[in-house]
Amino acid sequence: MVASNSAVVLIVEDEPLIRFNILDVLEDVGHVALEAANADEALVVLKGRQDVDILFTDVNMAGSMDGIQLAKRVRAMRPNIGIIITSGMVRLDPMALPANAAFLPKPYMHDTLISTIDSLMT
């Protein structure tokens, strides 16, 4: 599968193996993948990069805030960024998400992640 639009995606995942796997998958289809192990690192990346199109974050992770709090903060800072929230622990109602956001329950297929990114970019 190849991405229809190239995007800059910030992956926020505290499990290194999962984060590296997603990074490889996204780069293989033509996206630029950035990484952060927690919300605090993600905010540093976002302050230094104005070109991030998509925030892809896990809900449960160590640090000063979880993925839902991070998503709300990013939405307030940059309303145009697409947001994908994922979790294997909680289920979020897609109808309760803000505009230009999606929820992917774990485990998800890589093709589903790629198509979700594509849909948020259009």
Backbone angles phi, psi at 39, to 5 degrees: -65, -40
How far CA 121 is from CA of 2, 37, 39, 42, 118, in Å, comes to: 14, 24, 22, 20, 5
Cα 36 to Cα 91: distance, rounded to the nearest angstrom: 23
Burial of 39 (0-12, 13-18, 19+ CB in 10 A): buried
Superfamily, domain 6-118: Response regulator (3.40.50.2300)
Kindly indicate the confidence band of residue 38, based on its pLDDT and cuts at 50, 70 and 90.
very high
Assess whether pLDDT exceeds 90 at residue 2. Answer: no
Nearest C-alpha neighbor of 22 from the set 54, 44, 46:
54
Residue-level pLDDT at 94: 72
